[in-house]
Structure 1
Amino acid sequence: MGALLPLRALRLPDLDAPAAPLPPPEPTLEERIAAARAEGFAAGLVEGEARGRAAAETGRAAMAEESIRLALLTMEDLRAEAVAAVEENARALGELLFAAFDAALPGAAARHAPQMLPRLLEALGPVEEAPSGATLRVPPAILDLARERFGDRGLPIEPDPSLPEGDARIAWRDGAVALVLEDRRREIREVLASLDLLPKDTA
């Protein structure tokens, strides 16, 4: 009769131990399709939001760029309008100045004619070298004043009723030098015209 094994060497099942958990059931085909759809929808939603934000940023940048462009165009239009208005106002001012000068010049020339006579004498040069018969002719209104101031120059001074007040001339047989009001008017017109302050037909 064979030898008996000791009881401690035997491995007997533990009948009181809890049963092992069963593995989860494999998802069905419908469940897998639904899960894939949900995952795809979530990924698409994230990508869509990202694209939407990018499109919004691009749209805002484009709108800002267009706004700046329109603002610059508007500023250029306003600048052109301002320049045109300034030029028009400047010409209007020039016409006003010319009209004011033209109206005031005869009286001013008459008042200041004695102060202008030295220029006329300078244009003649030394009296001792003046052409024979040279005579200073002035409007009758300033005859006495002219003789008082310039009578000691050695140049005869005579009245000339044909001269408008503000004019004077030194005349001799073959020539003359003159102080002419119309020349001063022309000079004023030329100055204003050179500054583009008068219409071309006025200048």
Structure 2
Amino acid sequence: MSKELDGRLYTATQVDPVFIFLPIFEEARMKKGDDLGKFRQLDEIMLIDGYPGYQDLLSIADNSMQLVCEVKEIGSSKFFRLDDSKVMGWLYHKVHQLKQTLLTLDNNYAAQDEKDTLSDAVSILGEYLKHDTWLQHLCSHLRLNLSEVTRKEAEKLVPNIAESELGSALSQEKNKSNNRSTRAGKQPKKAKVETESRNIKEMFSRASRRKN
């Protein structure tokens, strides 16, 4: 958790690593049209230019991405290819899991229509999906209006933007106020320059001669 000077507060929470790896595996399979794409080894999939740190996540990717990938083992080698049906099953489970959580967190969700709560859950989940294609498929599967879901996402962003702009404006106003106070107040006195200062070594030398 960190607090910014303008009052904004940032918190970090746990996230399912599949959300992080999903766009990487989506691109790695190189799917075109009806072609299901290619099987590739994990170290090849996670080799990303400019981001060598992904190589440290191989074990996490191995454990988590088997949920949404078709996996083939040839000898000691393992090959992965993202599977659309598995991804949709995983997303469907996430949505219903989140929906149940919302009902326990806020009574307002319990009071509203079940479909609206489901739409809210999909909207929240959509914030973690890089590609809108998965959100489109999910809405189609759940018979939800995609434009309504994306509208809710946009509404969540508006307060954050407004709060950010307000915090920035307050910070600027505070700086202006401090500048005005400095100009209105007395100028600090300049330190006097000692014009008759003597060399310290010379002073001690003279004092020693006097004692002698």
Establish whether TM, by shorter chain, passes 0.5: no
Larger radius of gyration: 1
TM range (shorter): under 0.3
The normalised TM-score by structure 1 is: 0.20
The normalised TM-score by structure 2 is: 0.19
